Amino acid sequence: MADYHGLTEEKGKGLPEGTELHPVIAAFEKSDEPTVVIEGFIGTGKSGVVRLYAALDVDTYVEIPESAIVHREADKAQPGFMRAYVRSDSRVMSVTRERLPAGDYTQGPRPPDIGPVQPKPNFWSCSAKCEASFAAAAATILEAQARALATVDPVRAERLFRAIDARKHFVKEALHLCLERCLATHGRPLMIGRVFSLETFFEEIVARHLEGPE
């Protein structure tokens, strides 16, 4: 009989002769439930609970009910470090300690740091990402085009220009598709003095970074 942390299996049962289950596999087969791995340094917790610190600064820890742990194992390379296999639907308690001057504490809780207000996404912010990607691709193509112009061998130069034309066509199609997705997601933007045209906007971007549209 082999005993794995309280789980007993009949040695050799259902296994090739001369082999035995790995302790983790034995535990999983015994519990037959989904599990997650939680690692940390063992701390002192209340009875029936395992406390694991995320790091040696002990500012953050998690408390796991012992009944939720399917299997546990120590890391011989790190004294006091443990790996726990925990039932994924179990309730654990995560604690993060905040260190601050006593004077700050007596002034009451600080307002949450919510950071700068992020603008609501719209067509213009979406299309700006499309244009940035297109501009980067166009810059690479123009560099390749300059090298092709300097090529002495006419046959090689012709091959290079054919490849460059294909790349131009591809990145233009990708830009147009990206702009179409922005329009479908955010709707047609309002413009002063004229009605927005996706095709005109597309051509302006192409002319700005690459060349006139095909």
Total of domains in the chain: 3
Task: Give 9's Cβ-side CA count (13 Å radius).
Answer: 20
Check residue 1 and give its pLDDT: 42
Check residue 2 and give its pLDDT: 44
Q: Which among 100, 105, 63 is positioned nearest to 84, based on CA atoms?
A: 63
Check residue 135 and give its pLDDT: 93
Check residue 184 and give its pLDDT: 92
* Contacting residues for 174 by C-beta, under 8 A, at least 6 apart: 133, 134, 137
Quick one: 147 and 184 in the same domain?
A: yes
pTM, two decimal places: 0.45
Quick one: 48 and 68 in the same domain?
A: yes
Quick one: 199 and 177 in the same domain?
A: yes
Quick one: 53 and 83 in the same domain?
A: yes
Check residue 11 and give its pLDDT: 46
* Contacting residues for 200 by C-beta, under 8 A, at least 6 apart: none
Q: How far apart are the C-alpha atoms of 125 and 57, rounded to whole Å?
A: 42
Quick one: 190 and 132 in the same domain?
A: yes
Residues of the chain with pLDDT under 50: 1-12, 213-214
Question: Contact, 96 vs 59, CB < 8 A?
Answer: yes
Q: How far apart are the C-alpha atoms of 42 and 55, rounded to whole Å?
A: 10
Q: How far apart are the C-alpha atoms of 192 and 30, rounded to whole Å?
A: 70
Quick one: 130 and 201 in the same domain?
A: yes
Quick one: 21 and 62 in the same domain?
A: no
Check residue 112 and give its pLDDT: 65
